[in-house]
């Protein structure tokens, strides 16, 4: 008989991929203050505690306001290196063996930080993390959907020399009022250039936003997608076509998409045969890194050991790794669960 404590241990230790993680959202208040001091950037908060107290959000926009403000402390290649390295240490402790992190280039280039400085800091930490922790990676850059599509196109142009280290494009920031239609041209171009495509949809938006994001942007995965559950025909399509949804349970509660985790649809997604994955989104702001997201779902949604195994498998199957690397990661999942049964 598996005790709840053992399930918690499995959730923490099982090999897993994290596919929905904003590097800027891993900026812990302590590091924010350190970088603010180093770079001579003023923060309107007087202490780490005061900044942490501001992490009480009503919705996505109230979070984004703090997230973009705090991101202003990130200036140099070294800052992006330290941010990414700190995330990888935490991820490794949480059993993460593959990561496909996002970054928001426009948040930094709009302040005069060079695109290449951002990328080279992140990539050099990812390379060191692969050597130190054995974490494989694919990097995804997100366009800000509340900025003009022309800026997204310029960002895509800036990324072309970095095609060897940027695997894909995404779309984030305020969803309501910024539908996918404006980004058709930039996504078409990005896919022609060989980038994988993902996009946030159905976080605060509707099931119809999810459907149009799939149809218009040609994405391989939907980030969040929780509101797809409002439309049975779409649920059937997602399950049939094995479209991965990168679900972020603690994020959805912090941003009040659901008032409590007990109301979260993850359990229903799995029951409907949807390829859901569990992720942390912006863990410095939302009260938990990826393993804590799994543990909270065990407590509140009653996830079983079989659910954990399915979610671990889904996380690698939904990744952009080539088949042989996927198979190697999946073999580690199977070995882990077999050892648990022995």
Q: Which residues bind ligand ADE (CB under 6 A)?
A: 22, 25, 60, 67, 172-173, 200, 203, 251, 281-282
Burial of 62 (0-12, 13-18, 19+ CB in 10 A): middle
Encoded tokens for 285? 């702001």
Among 281, 291, 316, 321, binds Zn ion (CB under 5 A): 281
Q: Which residues are catalytic?
A: 203
Alpha-carbon distance of 319 to 181, in angstroms, equals 25
Shortest approach of Zn ion to residue 223 CB, angstroms? Answer: 5
Binding piece for Zn ion, criterion CB under 5 A, among 53-61, 103-111, 275-283, 319-327? 275-283
173 binds, among Zn ion, ligand ADE, none (CB under 5 to 8 A by kind): ligand ADE
Q: Give the residue with the Cβ less far from Zn ion, 34 or 146.
A: 146
**Smallest distance, ligand ADE to C-beta of residue 67, A:** 6
User: Nearest to ligand ADE by Cβ — which residue?
Assistant: 172
C-alpha 207/C-alpha 212 separation (Å) is: 9
Separation CA 332–CA 314 (nearest Å): 13
Nearest-10 Cα torsion for 89, 131, 76, 82 = 20
308 vs 318, beta carbon nearer ligand ADE: 318
Which of Zn ion, ligand ADE, none is residue 315 near (CB under 5 to 8 Å by kind)? none
CB of 115 to ligand ADE, least distance (A): 18
Helices (H) and strands (E) in the chain, counts: 17, 10
Cα 245 to chain center, whole Å?
Answer: 11
Q: Work out how close the CB of 283 gets to ligand ADE at its nearest, in angstroms, rounded to a whole number.
A: 11
Give the nearer residue to ligand ADE in terms of CB position, either 22 or 75.
22
Exposure string (b/e) for 90-120, b if CB count within 10 Å is 16 or more? bbbebbbbbbbbbbbbbbbbeeebebebbbb
> Closest residue to Zn ion, Cβ-based?
281
Binding footprint of Zn ion on the chain (CB under 5 A): 281
């Amino acid at each position: 008989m598996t005790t709840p404590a053992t399930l918690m241990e499995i959730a923490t230790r099982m090999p897993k991929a994290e596919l929905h993680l904003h590097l800027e959202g891993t900026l812990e208040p302590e590091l924010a203050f350190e970088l603010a001091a180093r770079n001579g950037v003023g923060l309107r908060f007087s202490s780490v505690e005061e900044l942490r107290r501001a992490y009480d959000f009503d919705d996505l926009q109230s979070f984004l306001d703090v997230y973009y403000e705090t991101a202003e402390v990130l200036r140099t290649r070294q800052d992006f290196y330290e941010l990414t390295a700190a995330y990888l240490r935490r991820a490794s402790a949480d059993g993460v063996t593959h990561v496909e992190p996002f970054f928001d280039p426009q948040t930094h280039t709009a302040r005069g930080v060079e695109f290449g400085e951002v990328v080279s800091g992140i990539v050099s930490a990812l390379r060191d993390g692969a050597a130190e922790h054995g974490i494989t990676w694919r990097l995804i850059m997100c366009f800000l959907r509340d900025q003009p599509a022309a800026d997204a196109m310029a960002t895509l142009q800036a990324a072309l020399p970095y095609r060897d280290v940027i695997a894909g494009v995404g779309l984030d920031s305020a969803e309501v009022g910024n539908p996918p239609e404006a980004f058709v041209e930039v996504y078409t171009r990005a896919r022609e250039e060989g980038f994988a495509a993902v996009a946030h949809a159905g976080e605060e938006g509707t099931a119809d936003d999810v459907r149009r994001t799939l149809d218009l942007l040609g994405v391989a995965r939907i980030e969040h997608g929780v509101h797809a559950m409002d439309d049975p025909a779409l649920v059937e399509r997602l399950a049939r076509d094995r479209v991965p949804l990168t679900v972020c349970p603690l994020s959805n509660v912090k941003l009040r998409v659901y008032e409590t985790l007990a109301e979260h649809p993850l359990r229903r997604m799995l029951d409907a045969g949807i390829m859901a994955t569990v992720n942390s989104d912006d863990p410095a702001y939302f009260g938990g890194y990826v393993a804590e997201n799994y543990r909270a779902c065990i407590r509140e949604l009653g996830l079983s050991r079989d659910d954990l195994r399915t979610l671990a498998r889904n996380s690698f199957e939904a990744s952009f790794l080539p088949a042989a690397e996927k198979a190697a990661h999946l073999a580690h999942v199977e070995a882990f669960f077999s050892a648990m049964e022995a």
